[in-house]
Amino acid sequence: MLIQAIGPLVSLALIVVAVMKHVNYGLALLIGTVTLGLFSQLSPQGFADVFTSALTDITTFDLILIVSLIPILAHCMRETGMLDNLIRSVKGVLSSRAVLMFLPALMGALPMPGGALLSAPLIDDEAKRLKLSGEERSFINVWFRHWIFFVYPLSSSLILAASLTGVSLYSLILIQFLPVLLYLLLGYFVSIRKIEDEREGEKHREAKALLSIPVNMSPIILVVVLDILGVDMAVALAIGVAFTLAMNKVKPRRAALLLRRGFDWRLPFAIMGVMCFRYMVEASGAVSTLLPYIEATGLPTTLLLIAIAWIVGLATAMPTAGIAIIIPIAMVMTEKLTPILTSLIYLTMILSYLISPMHLCLILTVEYYKARLHTVYQKLIPTAVAAYLAFLAFASIIQRW
């Protein structure tokens, strides 16, 4: 029926508009879920079955624990002084040009509210000494803090994509290893390489400072190693948090306070919205009803999915929300969502998010440096497009193999 076929379009539009209006994206996804169910004329029992299945799925519990524990780990590292020690060591060991690249990347690896505003001041002293404009600083801060989406095992967006599709997290990381190297090299050549530093080479790399870097990164290293060895990610993160607290001899009362303040309810709530929307897409059959109309366009399914990913990524500027929308639709539209296709859709979402005018990191960075957005875009958009075209070429080569 036509009304069922247009359900996914109306649902998608409502989610995008809600996110653009700054509605919590967990709530936005629940609105989209209910809308899709109504257009599909699902019975009250059908609604109950969808929500029950979504909220009792072991994957839901696992993802809730993971997205709750990642910011808690970051908060504990910050409040115990490990992060400050790490930053001092990095600044004392690396050259100024390397600091400009590494510190935003480091802050990206520790997801926390206002992350862009945390990394921006850290590179400001070096950037001012090197006489970089606000626009140049903005590009560097935005570009280098987003490498985590490609290969970082603790990236919540990457974890979500792997969990929803059933594709191995480390398969995606392996596929995206060369793309992230290209991404970093492009950023280096368009921003860092041309910087002249008269004091380069003056820093003395003391053994104590060098040793301090892995010591203060040890909780993250521990979590990643445990996960690679087969320990469930949620368990590995819990061990990482406990290790951080024990290493810094945090007393029980303060530990409880750190755990409470590091918890952000919006993240697990978003996961509930993600899983409810996923189950509703499957239960409603609405996308399957829409498929004949899509096939009538004569366009390849992959091209249509990429177009949808670009639209959703630019409109929402929230990778987690975008992935929650596109992956369930892709799983219905394709016979099999391969690791390569999953990676292609995922990278499309990330690059569209990166250049979106609604991208909060970009907005905060430009405001902090008092830069002009259109001037930042003159470098950001061409570099992002170049990276994306290279990704497409790489995906095409891998697919043939």
Contact 102, 285 (CB under 8 A): no
Answer whether residue 202 is part of any domain.
no
- pLDDT of 239 above 90: yes
Q: Is the pLDDT of residue 113 over 60?
A: no
Per the CB < 8 A criterion, the answer to whether 276 and 47 are in contact is: no
Domain range for 279 is 2-195+208-400
- 203 occurs within a structural domain: no
Q: What is the pLDDT of residues 251-278, one digit of tens each?
A: 999 999 999 998 988 888 988 988 998 8
Q: Is residue 228 part of a domain?
A: yes
So what's the pLDDT on residue 139? 95
The predicted pLDDT at position 13 comes to 84
Asked if pLDDT for residue 114 goes beyond 60, the answer is: no
Q: What local confidence, expressed as pLDDT, does residue 92 receive?
A: 78
pLDDT higher at 287 or 349 = 349
CA distance 288 to 257: 48
In a domain, 30, yes or no: yes
Instruction: State pLDDT tens for residues 275-333.
Output: 998 899 888 877 767 777 777 777 788 888 998 889 888 877 788 888 988 898 888 88
Q: What is the pLDDT of residues 167-214, one digit of tens each?
A: 999 999 999 999 999 999 999 999 998 887 666 555 555 666 678 888
Q: Which tokens in the block code for residue 104? A: 């935003």
Residue 201 lies in a domain: no
pLDDT at 1 exceeding the cut of 80: no
Secondary structure letter of residue 192 according to DSSP: I
Residue 34 in any domain: the answer is yes
Give the pLDDT band of residue 115 (cuts 50, 70, 90): low
Q: And the tokens for 160?
A: 């979500």
User: Per-residue confidence at 381, pLDDT binned at 50, 70, 90?
Assistant: very high
Residue 201 dihedral angles phi and psi, to the nearest 5°: 95, -5
Mean pLDDT across the stretch 218-223?
A: 91
The pLDDT value recorded for residue 207 is: 60
CA 216 to chain centroid, in Å, comes to 23
Q: DSSP character for 401?
A: -
Determine, yes or no, domain membership for 91.
yes
Span of 8-17, 162-171, 250-259 with lowest mean pLDDT: 8-17
| Predicted structure pTM score | 0.82
Count of domains observed in the chain:
1
* 134 contact partners, CB below 8 Å, separation of at least 6: 366, 369, 370, 371, 372
> Rounded to an integer, what distance in angstroms lies between the CA atom of residue 323 and that of residue 338?
16
| Mean pLDDT, the chain, integer | 86
**pLDDT exceeds 60 at position 340:** yes
> Residue 207: is it exposed, middle or buried by C-beta count within 10 angstroms (0-12/13-18/19+)?
exposed
**pLDDT of 394 above 80:** yes
- Looking at residue 208, its pLDDT comes to 67
Question: Which of 128-142, 316-330, 374-388 bottoms out in mean pLDDT, i.e. has the lowest?
Answer: 316-330
Q: Give 163's pLDDT tier (boundaries 50, 70, 90).
A: very high
Q: Report CA-CA distances (Å) from 326 to 8, 341, 375.
A: 11, 12, 31
Q: Which residue has the tokens 């209006």?
A: 21
In angstroms, the CA 232 to CA 223 distance is 10
pLDDT for residue 312 = 84
Sign for the pseudo-dihedral over CA of 56, 59, 63, 65:
positive
Task: Specify if 96 maps to a domain.
Answer: yes
| 347 — pLDDT class (breaks 50, 70, 90) | very high
**One-letter identity of residue 50:** V
- Cβ atoms 119, 108 nearer than 8 A: yes
Rounded distance between C-alpha atoms, residue 279 and residue 33, angstroms: 9
